[in-house]
Structure 1
Amino acid sequence: MQLAEKFQFQKQGIKELDEALYEAEFSRADKLKSVLKKYVEIIEKTSYLMQPDVYRLINTEAMVINQALLGNRRAIAQLFINLMEATLQQELESHRRWQGLVDAWKALKKQALVQTFSEFMASERIQAPPAVKKEMESMLKNQKALQQKRLEHLCAVCDLLPPNYSKAQLTEWHSSLNSLNKHLDTYHMDFMMRIRLQYEKTWQECLAHVQKCKKQLLDWKAFTEEEAESLVSPYFFQMVGVLQSKVEDELELLDKSFESLAKQTEWQSSDLFSYFQEAVQLWEAHQSMLSAQDLELEKRMEQQRQKHNACVRECA
């Protein structure tokens, strides 16, 4: 701004000089005109020359003076042009130097801002948000407790197997096991929802920081809205997008792991219950066979006793 005012002041000085020179030239022309008139009258009074000769002489002198005046005016005009051209050239060179310095300053500022944002994105609070770590630790703790409870329930089946067993109790045990499995699966789904919510807060924080960087560019009064947007939109949003994609892939993998675990637990529980049912059926079949054998044995023993009694009576 000071540089522009300096050259504006210099241009104004050149214009004032030009006006002063023209004013002096017009003043001198008026004075020469008065002098010529004066000497015309003097020569006419002396009657040394005829009047036509006097006018001819004065016209000749006037032409010489006019040529000199025109030459002076051309010189003044050329001086004005030369001074203005020199000033404009200086202004152009100064503007180029100033623009070069501004561009270098803007490049340094953009580089510093990019570095600051890169450090922000690489910070632990963004890469591994404390709230996410807290949710993860809580999930592992609760998951361990639920799995321990499930393990204890699995061990309780030993009290329901033959010979001390009950189909109703075994069915109830299986229903409780399914309930525990579903509870664990529901907890995992709730955890995924909470973890996504925490990451959403992190993305909002990143976007807020992007807008803060853009505002910083505009506050420096050296960047236009388009320049600030051209830096923020492709680069900063890309950095946020890369991290977001990475996290989404990790969450997708974790979600699939939970889903796979739920399916595996479901079919393992079903297979285990089927195994116990088959064991009970086998036990019942074995018991039925043993009962039949007992009855057959008792029947034979009764027959043998009757034969023995008959033999004893015959001998008596």
Structure 2
Amino acid sequence: MQQKQEIKELDEELLALEVSRADKLKEVLKRYVGIIEKTSYILQPDVYRLIDKEAMAMNQALLGNRRAIAQLLVNLTESTLQQELDNRHRWQGLVDTWKALKKEALIQSFSEFMASEEIQEPPEVKKKLEEMQKNQEMLQSVRLDHLCTLCDLLPPNYNKTQLTEWYDSLTSLNKQLDTYHMDCMSLVHFLYEKIWQQCLSHVQECKQQLLNWKAFSEAEAESLVNPTFFLMVGEFQSKVEKQLELLDNSFEDLARETEWQSSDLFRYFQEAVKLWEGHQSVLMTQELELEKRIEQHRQKHNQENQVPEA
């Protein structure tokens, strides 16, 4: 803008000089017309023709100067515009380079954020999993102790009511462990939801950072964060969801297997008790039969002993 103003001022100054020069030449011609007329060296018509000829030559010179000034203005304007265009291209190149560096730095920063331990292994999740493992061991220990009490209920000291109560208690312990697993996994899911929201918030912060630099448009900022940053968050979320799904399925399989094993164990001991009772019944029958036969033999022996005495 300053160069354009200087060119404009130069043009006005040169035009003013030409106007001033034309005025001075006009005065000179008028003065010499008077001088020539007074000397009467040539006739008046010849004087006017001579002056007209000189005036025409001067006008052509003045017009030539005007054309030169106009051409100078055009040349200066073109040179200024070309310089501005070159500067604009250079500036745009520097801006593009700066924007590329800023994008690269922002992507690197976001990648480091996503790879940080706070995101990959959140302290709250890690703490909850460690707590879950300790409580699992405690509940498993209680369950194992309860399983060991089954030895006190085996024949011949068994009791059907106590055996049923023992199985109900075992089922309750299994249910307690399964419920604890589900509660823990619900909390872990919730904690990871908070992590994903934190990642999305960081994405918006990065986008706002681009806009705050006043060099990126809304579309440019969106085109960077939408495919790149959201893809990173999506990949991390998919990986964690697969891990959580695997853990959920493992706990479900464990609950089904535990239920099946407990039920199978209970049925096994029920069959064992039935078998014991069956053997007991047979033994009692055999014992009664044996006692009956002994009594018969005793009576027969007594009768045989009484016959000789008679």
What residue in structure 2 maps to residue 149 of structure 1? 142
Does 2:66 match 1:97?
no
The offset of 1:176, in angstroms, is: 1.1
Q: How big is the alpha-carbon RMSD for the aligned residues of Structure 1 and Structure 2?
A: 1.5
Number of corresponding residues: 309
Match of 2:300 among 281, 286, 307: 307
Distance, in Å, in 1 between the alignment partners of 2:231 and 2:30 is 87
Matched, 1:277 2:277: no
Out of 5, 8, 19, the position equivalent to 1:12 is 5
Cα deviation, residue 102, structure 1: 2.0
Structure 2 residue identity aligned to 1:254: L
Counterpart selection for 1:260 from 253, 265, 285: 253
Q: After the TM superposition, which of the residue ranges 278-287 and 121-130 deviates more from structure 2? A: 121-130
Once the two structures are TM-superposed, the CA of residue 53 in structure 1 deviates from its matched residue by 2.6
Matching of residues 123-138 of structure 1 within 5 Å = 123-138=116-131
- Segments of 4+ in structure 1 off by > 4 A? none
Equivalent of 1:120 in 108, 113, 119:
113
Match of 2:220 in 1: 227
Letter of the 1:225 counterpart: E
Which whole-Å CA distance do the structure 2 matches of 1:268 and 1:51 have between them? Answer: 142
For the residue of structure 1 that corresponds to 2:144, the secondary structure is helix
State the alpha-carbon separation in 2 of the partners of residues 201 and 131 from structure 1: 11
Q: Aligned partners of 1:315, 1:141: CA distance in 2, in Å?
A: 86
Query: Partner of 1:222: helix, strand, or coil?
Result: coil
Q: Which residue of 2 aligns with 1:38?
A: 31
> What is residue 171 of structure 1 aligned with on the other side?
164
Match of 1:198 in 2: 191
1:241-269: CA deviation from partner (whole Å, max 9, x where unpaired): 11111111111111111011011101111
The equivalent of 1:72 in structure 2 is 65
What's the CA shift for 1:45? 4.0
Residue 229 of structure 2: aligned partner: 236
Give, in whole Å, the separation in 1 of the partners of 2:277 and 2:133. 42
Gaps of at least 5 residues in structure 1 are 1-7
Structure 1 counterpart of 2:143, which letter?
Answer: R
1:209 maps to 2:202: yes
How far did residue 154 of structure 1 move? 0.9
Between the two proteins, what is the percent identity of the paired residues?
Answer: 71
- The C-alpha deviation readout for 1:60-113, integer Å capped at 9, x for no partner, is 222111111110000000001111111112222222222222222222222222
How many Å apart are 1:218 and its aligned residue? 2.3
Matched, 1:160 2:153: yes
Q: Which residue of 1 is the match for residue 79 of structure 2?
A: 86
Query: How far apart are the structure 2 equivalents of 1:33 and 1:182?
Result: 119
Alpha-carbon distance in structure 1 between the residues aligned to 2:76 and 2:289 = 138
Whichever residue aligns with residue 293 of structure 1, its letter is Q
Q: Tell me, which stretches of 5 or more residues in structure 2 are unaligned?
A: none
Which amino acid counterpart does residue 52 of structure 1 have in structure 2?
Answer: P
Normalising by structure 2, what TM-score? 0.95
